[in-house]
Amino acid sequence: MQTAVEQIRTALTSAYPVIVLVGPEESRLEALVTRFANAARPEPLPVVSWNCADGFTGSGPDETANDPDPLDALQWVADKGGRGLYIFKDLDSYFDNPRLVRRLRDTAIKIRNTGKFLFLMAPATELPTTLKPLSYIVVSLFPDETELRTTVATFLKPRNASTDVLNRLVTALKGMSLIEVEHLMTRLLAHYQSFDEDFFNEVLAEKEQVTRKEGILEFVPPAEGINDIGGLDQLKTWVQERSDLFTPEAREAGLPIPKGLLLMGMSGCGKSLAVKVIAQEWKLPLFRLDMNLVFAGVHGSPEWVFHRALQAVEAIAPAVLWIDEIEMGVAGYHEGQTGALTRIFSSFLTWMQEHRAEVFVAATANRINLLPAEIIRKGRFDQVFFVDLPNQEERKAILEIHLRRQGVNPANYDLILLSSATRGWNGAEIEQAVISARITAHAKNSHPTQSDLLRTFGKIIPLSKTMSEQLKAIRSWAKTRAVPATTPEKLDL
């Protein structure tokens, strides 16, 4: 996505009479408009601002100064206002009034190519249909790096901080609004005398707090490392080979940055676990986007919520964006429905191809038959992996991991026997069985024995038994479309 400055420049040079500024921070966007006005040639342009409570403020016209009527204000711009940038706040709350929409449209037509521009501040991108051809929408939910740098540098100036501190802070503060940055800098500078690790830890804690407020993206704290995954050798090699591509050295060397990975396959086989491991191995923060939440409508229209999420993660980049159950967002498209799903899917594909931010998309899918060919086509994701049920060697590794996690020594068990007893199970089922055996043993004040484990295993019916037909279909579908996450010769099913 372009920065706000780039978008405004495009809107002005394309001579759109109405420029809609979408973002939570009016003052920041207003400051950007003023910057453009001051830089105008041959001479700076005046900036006039209107809101529904005070009418025109600042350098507005005298005759309507105390009249907040939006129709009169627009009429004044059309008939009497000179060349300049006119910022209108609150107009979106009048969009259900046909007279206002008519006046806005007529004003827009009248001021075309006259050196007058209307800037509408709006919290979301919904516009009356008739205005769309006359408008350019600028979406800027977060300050860009230059804006952040300017603000942070102002705070650091009296402290003679090094460029290193400035760079580190700018990276750490990405994704926060300027107001939040200002509050945080004021608080921290009053409290800390030096820029030590405690200082930066507090910055990161605040950022986590901010992304929580965001609501759409969930920050997933780092936990699991590559040794917490049993099996999936080909996937692990792929991840490890790319572990230093997001470093400043790789950037300087001009190495291509991976765009994304699609993990599809059986439920409970470690797809989500693998995403967490990627973030941990590559030392990137992980943000999860829940497609169910996108469509729930709680945070606004699905398209808007999705767009917001992509902008938010770009602002926080470098980062891993985990799109869980991606089929939720594309299923409708596949079935030929129109509407929000189609638009979301196509804008996602365009974004995947065009975005410049260091965002690695890790998408996971279970119902893979719902995935359309476009998403799997080369060029969108760097790799598409199919995650199958674990083979014997992998089940042995998974058992070892989970036995150790339950505080017992795997060396005390016949792991070959136990892994044979769990043929056809997924990793989540193995984990649950080990936990259950431990709880039973704990009630008797002991550790689970080999026969305790076998007894617990005997009570579990794995999903693959009840879903054998689906399993076959999924495997044959994936055969030609994805790379196996496990070396195929090793499969024992």
**Closest separation between CB of residue 222 and ligand ATP, Å?**
14
**Closest separation between CB of residue 293 and ligand ATP, Å?**
16
Question: Does 230 interact with ligand ATP (rule: CB under 6 A)?
Answer: yes
Provide the angle, in degrees to the nearest 10, between the axes of the packed helices 233-241 and 271-281: 20
Question: Does 462 interact with ligand ATP (rule: CB under 6 A)?
Answer: no
Q: Which residues partner with 361 through β-bridges?
A: 260, 321
Q: Which stretch binds ligand ATP (CB under 6 A): 104-112, 192-200, 228-236, 410-418?
A: 228-236
Question: Does 327 interact with ligand ATP (rule: CB under 6 A)?
Answer: no
Q: Which stretch binds ligand ATP (CB under 6 A): 106-114, 136-144, 267-275, 291-299?
A: 267-275
Question: Does 270 interact with ligand ATP (rule: CB under 6 A)?
Answer: yes
Residue 330, exposed/middle/buried by CB under 10 A (0-12, 13-18, 19+)? Answer: buried
Residues 386-415 contacting ligand ATP, CB under 6 A: 390, 398, 401
Beta carbon nearer to ligand ATP, 309 or 463: 463
SS3 338: coil
Question: Does 428 interact with ligand ATP (rule: CB under 6 A)?
Answer: yes
Q: Which residues partner with 362 through β-bridges?
A: 261, 322
Q: In the set 20, 262, 269, 403, which binds ligand ATP (CB under 6 A)?
A: 269
Query: Which tokens sit at 365?
Result: 């899918």
Give 367's contacts (C-beta < 8 A, 6+ positions apart).
Answer: 327, 331
As a whole number of angstroms, the distance between CA 238 and CA 383 comes to: 9
For 180, other C-beta atoms within 10 Å of its C-beta total 18
Strand positions, DSSP E, 206-285: 217-220, 260-265
# residues contacting ligand ATP (CB under 6 A): 19
Give 470's contacts (C-beta < 8 A, 6+ positions apart).
Answer: none
Beta carbon nearer to ligand ATP, 313 or 428: 428
* CB half-sphere exposure, 181, CA atoms < 13 A: 26
For 269, other C-beta atoms within 10 Å of its C-beta total 27
Question: Does 366 interact with ligand ATP (rule: CB under 6 A)?
Answer: yes
For 28, other C-beta atoms within 10 Å of its C-beta total 19
Beta carbon nearer to ligand ATP, 32 or 275: 275
Question: Does 229 interact with ligand ATP (rule: CB under 6 A)?
Answer: yes
Q: Which stretch binds ligand ATP (CB under 6 A): 9-17, 90-98, 103-111, 262-270?
A: 262-270
**Closest separation between CB of residue 270 and ligand ATP, Å?**
3
Region label for 444, one of left (φ > 0), alpha (ψ between -120 and 50) or beta (otherwise): alpha
CA–centroid distance for 323 within its chain: 8
Question: Does 369 interact with ligand ATP (rule: CB under 6 A)?
Answer: no
Q: Which stretch binds ligand ATP (CB under 6 A): 110-118, 343-351, 425-433, 439-447?
A: 425-433
In this structure, the strands spanning 319-324 and 359-365 are parallel
Beta carbon nearer to ligand ATP, 195 or 425: 425
Q: Which stretch binds ligand ATP (CB under 6 A): 121-129, 265-273, 279-287, 369-377?
A: 265-273
Q: In the set 57, 171, 267, 406, which binds ligand ATP (CB under 6 A)?
A: 267
Where on the chain is the footprint of ligand ATP (CB under 6 A)? 229-232, 267-273, 364, 366, 390, 398, 401, 427-428, 431
